[in-house]
Amino acid sequence: MLAAMGILSLACAGIGLVPVLMAKPLDRVVSTLSGTEQVLPSLDNLVNLSWLTVLAIPLLVVGFILWKWAAATPRGKEQPTWGCGYLAPNARMQYTASSFADGLVQGMGWVLWPKIQGGRVRGFFPFPRRFQSHVPDPVLDRVADPGLNGAAFLLSGLRFLQAGHMSIYLMYILLTLLVLLIWMVV
């Protein structure tokens, strides 16, 4: 898992640092998708991508020097992370990925439709409550899955056409040819 993530991260860094290498493959993808040659101008002609590599050099050099300088700071004894006076944090208190995204998820709730269950505490000395939140994928879970399931349900009504007899399939072909013939004539 870590190796796969590392390779992807390196690929991202590579695209950022030497984008010229990606310009030609991307142009090929664009020309294949558009179906014709030279519909759009080449990416390399639009932006001088080599500037990014040129500027990456001072960025990395300055970063390296500052890194060395910061790492050479006089070090005190290692301490626990600042806990605002609370010294016994445990894994149940950790800041999770869903907490991290909560602000944007709430703000974009009209698109993402987060599913939230429980969690509201009422009155003094409340009973233990359960809370769970889940953000279904808006495309896969909200559109693609229900759409494909609906289509599968509707199309299951046509299964009787698959009778399993060769003669019936030949009849379908004959009927299709007849329809095409009539369409051609008309």
**Contact residues for other proteins, defined by CB under 8 A:** 46-48, 51-52, 54-55, 58-59, 62-63, 66-67, 69-84, 89, 93-95, 99-104, 107
Maximum Cα interatomic distance, the chain, rounded to a whole number of Å: 91
Least Å distance, CB 145 to other proteins, is: 27
Min dist. Cβ of residue 134 to other proteins (A): 18
From the CB of 139, what's the least distance to other proteins, in Å? Answer: 19
Which residue, 64 or 169, is less far from other proteins as judged by CB? 64
Task: Taking the CA atoms of 164, 165, 166 and 172 in sequence, report the sign of the dihedral they define.
Answer: negative
Identify which of residues 38 and 45 has a Cβ nearer to other proteins in the complex.
45
Nearer to other proteins, 35 or 74 (CB): 74
22's CB contacts (< 8 A; 6+ apart) are 15
Task: Read off the amino acid at residue 69.
Answer: W
**Nearer CB in complex with other proteins: 4/70:** 70
d(CA 92, CA 95): 9
Six token digits for residue 82 = 């600042």
* Backbone angles phi and psi of 116, in degrees to 5: -120, 130
Min dist. Cβ of residue 86 to other proteins (A): 9
